[in-house]
Amino acid sequence: MKPAEYRRMYEAEEAQWWYAGQRAIAAALLEPALEATNVMGPPRLLDAGCGTGFNLLALGPLGRATGVDLAPEAIAFCRERGVRAVRASLPALPFPDATFSAVTSFDVIYHAWVSDDRAAVAEMARVVRTGGLVLVRVPALKMLWGAHDVEVQSRHRYTRGELRALLEGCGLRVERATYCNSLLFPLLLARRTLDRLLGRAGSDVGFLPVPLEWAFARALRTEAALIRAGFSFPLGASVVAVARK
């Protein structure tokens, strides 16, 4: 991403509605799957493409979390947060085979600098133990392409079928795959359509007026509760899947 985007991410990801809501959705998928995993001792977790590091703090209660990111700006922010992170490329993770109980990747493999998403997922599969988990979230649906995608240097927006095929092609068994950020989908589609018509440029990362922050966060928390109960959404602005090796 552009260096300025890391500063925006660092300032927003602890509390902003999208980040907080997406963490709730990821937890709704990861926690039950991890509980069903036979692990000796505390789980070792890897966040592949950890950005500025707040997800490592969120993963902390589940096990010993480590992050990797290619951008020096991201690693600097991780050090500022006091979380473990090393600089590395996703297609060349600096860990032995079968090191981790679970590997997460939140909105990473869609970036332009990840030229081979299959190689990146294959590396995640390599470093996770047999019976361990890989959770991947990516932006969904080409119809939502907009100024934010350009600003954060996106390469692709995925369908659920594409993400499932990508994971299965790397030898993983998909246990859950669902769209998310679904309840707000009509608003997001309208916003992206208007942005294209008006030629708006720039990132979507930032805080909304307090009532909207509360309402949008509540929508994503509702989605998280439904996903934890077993419901999968047929449409949404993101798509997330959890798979087992």
DSSP string, 182-234: -TTHHHHHHHHHHHHHHT--S---SPPPHHHHHHHHHHHHHHHHHHHTT--BS
pLDDT > 90? residue 6: no
pLDDT tens digits, one per residue of 51-80: 999 999 999 999 999 999 999 999 999 999
Predicted local confidence at residue 44, as pLDDT = 96
As a whole number, mean pLDDT of residues 157-173 equals 98
3-state secondary structure of 38: coil
Q: What is the pLDDT of residues 76-131, one digit of tens each?
A: 999 999 999 999 999 999 999 999 999 999 999 999 888 899 999 999 999 999 99
Per-residue model confidence (pLDDT) at position 223: 98
Residue 100 — φ and ψ, nearest 5°? Answer: -115, 150
What is the domain count for the chain?
A: 1
pLDDT at residue 2 in the model:
64
In CATH, what number is assigned to the domain containing residue 91?
3.40.50.150
**3 pLDDT higher than 80:** no
Other C-beta atoms within 10 Å of 193: how many?
Answer: 13
Q: Is the pLDDT of residue 161 over 90?
A: yes
Cα–Cα distance, 101 to 115 (Å, whole number): 26
pLDDT at 1: 66
Rounded to the nearest integer, the mean pLDDT of the chain is 92
The pair of structure tokens assigned to 82 is 């006091």
So what's the pLDDT on residue 9?
A: 83
Helices and strands, counts by H and E, the chain: 9, 7
pTM: 0.92
**Interval 192-237: pLDDT, tens:** 888 788 777 766 767 889 999 999 999 999 999 999 999 999 999 9
Cα–Cα distance for residue pair 37/188, rounded to 1 Å: 36
The pLDDT of residue 196: 80
Reported as a pLDDT band with limits 50, 70 and 90, residue 7 is confident
As a whole number, mean pLDDT of residues 2-17 equals 82
Residue 27 has pLDDT above 80, yes or no: yes
Domain with 23 in it: 3-244
